[in-house]
Amino acid sequence: MAAMLNPAEDHGWWRNALIYEVYPRSFSDSDGDGVGDLAGLIERLPYLASLGVDGVWLTPFQPSPQIDQGYDISDYCDVDPLFGSMRVFDELLGAAHRTGIRVLVDLVPNHTSTSHPMFRRAVAAKPGSPDRSVFHFRPGRGTAHERTPNNWLSVFGGPAWSRAPEQDPTDPDWYLHLFSSGQPDWNWEHPAVHDYFDGVLRFWFDRGADGVRIDVAHGLYKQPGLPDSPAVPEVIDGLRSNPLAMDQEPVHDVYRRWRRIAESYQPARLLVGEVNLPAPRAARYTRPDELHQSFAFTFTQLGWDATAWVRTGNELAAARDAYASSTTWALENHDLVRTATRFGTGERGRRRGRAALLALLGLPGAVYVYQGQELGLPEVDVPADRRRDPMWQRAAIGRDGARVPMPWTVASTGTHGFSPPQAAEPWLPVPPGWGRYAVEAQTDAAGSTLELFRTAVRVRRELLSPAGASAGLSARWRLHENGLVECARPDGISVFIAMDDEGARLPPGRALLASDPLDETGTLPPDTAVWWRHETYYR
């Protein structure tokens, strides 16, 4: 059970932290409107404390038209009534801190909402006006400006440009949006944008937030002049395949500025970035004067492939070594297919999902888990007419299957505890049989994924954390015979994962914890992970 925070112990807390991502609209609905809220999260803090998490990352709860489920923010310094109020947020922050849980707020600096007052003023202004210069307005090509200013595509499908709405048809301007048309990109070449976000950071840090998770942290700047892309990017990989729209060098100065702000607080606030780039490029964002952490995105893109796990693990270790930061591991989030489905189907998917979860918790460095991952939730095939993801509407790619409301109770009626009795229908449908994954069903149940998670967190604290930040820098990955993956820590403990159909023989030593029962012959069964203490240390 977590305890009240001690500011004196806050220095570097994030290096080996366990952070739990909460997607508020799908976590717990306190008022029965079918959408989760901050008050529901407050009610569930004892559950989060029982998991032993060090912090929670909240996806956007700020005012928004909800075109992209909150990632289109219209007011960065308030709470959307859908989720509560600023008073409720303050209650959440206080209750979480009393429980020993830190709170990270999602910050979305690459783009905003077409409902943001600054964008509304820009639309109302004339072409070439100062109000338009804080966004990317450009005249269209063609005699009637009927064609987009360049060939960039939106990550959500279709052109990355839309005509300025509510304007005279003779207005030549289009505005840039790398995501939906409801999410115009800020122009970070403009000093006013820097000043604005300095104020946003200070607002949440002054409020007591322990840090921010930065959405599309490798975005912000675009190639000067916004030229055509030599190769039109694929929509599915739009964040990485258009080098003109992402990972521009000036973005690093933004995070140097933010790092100075974060460290002006006592204790210092955490900056963690969503940097969807290859490991060597992503690691540059965690140089000593920039972000504290960036997600190991190449790890989230793994399949059940032993060679890829070892190659990626070593790439990440080398990249982190270069900048003396700890690796930030994750396998699931609100944008990804659940591992119990991504790695297989049926029983095989369940075993692989458990093995991956145990392996994740045994790796040196910080770990980010997504709500329901501790329950082994599979991906849900949401009916097409109930999907809410704008990517589905524009590109037939859907993320709703990982966002279905959390199951809390076994009861087959209603929403399995997500909402109170007689509540409105949940914003995404709860599938039949969802209760078998519920917290109630798995609590104190021998062999359940939830109890495996709780045990792993306890053992992680007792045996693995003392290796400290240095373990994240010097761990080595190996591929043994029969698809046996090993991540060897410098403290004589290894994480082994059996990834082929035969299983694999383990070296002399003893098991600390396994995702499923081990073979009595000393063979690690297929689709199983184990934390293993060697009889003798080796490098």
Locate tokens 């097409």: which residue?
Answer: 384
pLDDT of 314 above 80: yes
Amino acid, res. 84:
G
Q: With bands split at pLDDT 50, 70 and 90, how would you rate the model's confidence at 537?
A: low
Residue 153 pLDDT exceeds 70? yes
Bridge pairing between strands 102-107 and 55-58: parallel
pLDDT score of 463 = 76
Q: What percent of the chain has pLDDT over 90?
A: 74
**Predicted confidence band at 395 (pLDDT cuts at 50, 70, 90)?**
low
What would the two tokens of residue 532 be?
A: 């293993």
Give the model confidence (pLDDT) of 424-434 as tens digits: 999 999 998 99
Taking CA atoms, 256 is separated from 210, 251, 287, 489, in Å, by 18, 9, 9, 31
* pLDDT, tens only, 97-148: 999 999 999 999 999 999 999 999 999 998 999 999 999 999 999 999 999 9
pLDDT bucket at 31, cuts 50 / 70 / 90: very high
What pLDDT score does 524 carry?
Answer: 94
Give the model's confidence band at 232: pLDDT under 50 very low, under 70 low, under 90 confident, else very high: low
Residue 236 has pLDDT above 50, yes or no: no
Confidence of residue 3 (pLDDT cuts 50, 70, 90): low
Cα angle: 65, vertex 205, 107; to 5 degrees: 35
Give the model's confidence band at 350: pLDDT under 50 very low, under 70 low, under 90 confident, else very high: very high
pLDDT computed for residue 472 by the predictor: 47
Confidence label for 489 from pLDDT (cuts 50, 70 and 90): confident
Assess whether pLDDT exceeds 90 at residue 213: yes
Cβ atoms < 10 Å from Cβ of 84: 22
Instruction: With beta carbons less than 8 A apart as the criterion, state whether 186 and 210 touch.
Output: no
Q: Rounded to two decimals, what is the model's pTM?
A: 0.94
CA distance 185 to 144: 24
* Average pLDDT across the chain, whole number: 90
pLDDT at 359 over 80: yes
Longest alpha-carbon distance in the chain? 78
Q: Residue 383 has what pLDDT?
A: 84
Report yes or no: 515 and 355 within 8 Å, Cβ to Cβ: yes
User: Residue 5 has what pLDDT?
Assistant: 63
239-278, pLDDT tens digit by residue? 556 789 999 999 999 999 999 999 999 999 999 999 999 8
Residue 538: pLDDT band (50, 70, 90) is very low
Q: Which residue has the higher pLDDT, 506 or 472?
A: 506
pLDDT at 397: 63
Using one digit for the tens of pLDDT, what is the confidence trace for 326-340? 778 999 999 899 999
As a whole number, mean pLDDT of residues 287-291 equals 95
400-431 burial code (b ≥16 CB/10 A, e <16): bbbbbbbbbbbeeebbbbbbeeebeebbbbbb
Q: How far is CA 532 from CA 183, 284, 357, 390, in A?
A: 48, 32, 16, 44
Could you identify the residue written with the tokens 């039949």?
432
Residue type, 234: E
Mean pLDDT on 405-416:
88
**Pairing status of strand 476-479 against strand 484-488:** antiparallel
Q: Are strands 528-534 and 493-498 parallel, antiparallel or unpaired?
A: antiparallel
Q: What is the pLDDT of residue 324?
A: 76
Q: What is the pLDDT of residues 46-77, one digit of tens each?
A: 999 999 999 999 999 999 999 998 999 999 99
